Amino acid sequence: DTAVSQTPKYLVTQMGNDKSIKCEQNLGHDTMYWYKQDSKKFLKIMFSYNNKELIINETVPNRFSPKSPDKAHLNLHINSLELGDSAVYFCASTPYGGYGYTFGSGTRLTVV
């Protein structure tokens, strides 16, 4: 009974393609995030959503567009994929005003 689930787990695609990653949490949390972990393991915030509304959008190319259809889901769509987009993308959630993230299992994106 996975708390934060991401699909797909692995994604290999060619440059220039458009792809989506899905995230769902069944914890009843209000806030969800997308983080990017590069090859050096650095975890960097991309987006933060609270109850379906965008709260934080860090300096991320506008080829990346998050969408939250409801507070349990936060998807990430990436247009015109580039080699530098290759990374592991983690979704996470936390209760509103709460502490302690629960991370999804990650999506390893490889752009060739």
Partner 1 sequence: GENVEQHPSTLSVQEGDSAVIKCTYSDSASNYFPWYKQELGKRPQLIIDIRSNVGEKKDQRIAVTLNKTAKHFSLHITETQPEDSAVYFCAASSTGNTPLVFGKGTRLSVIA
Taking contact as CB under 8 A, which single stretch among the options 11-19, 60-68, 78-86, 93-101 is the one that binds partner 1? 93-101
CA 59 to chain centre: 15
Tell whether residue 99 is a contact of partner 1 (CB under 8 A). yes
Tell whether residue 66 is a contact of partner 1 (CB under 8 A). no
Report the helix count and the strand count for the chain, using DSSP H and E. 0, 11
Sheet holding 64-70, edge to edge: 4-7, 19-25, 73-78, 64-70
| Closer CB to partner 1, 79 or 105, in the complex | 105
Please select the residue that binds partner 1; options are 8, 16, 61, 98, rule is CB under 8 A. 98
Tell whether residue 12 is a contact of partner 1 (CB under 8 A). no
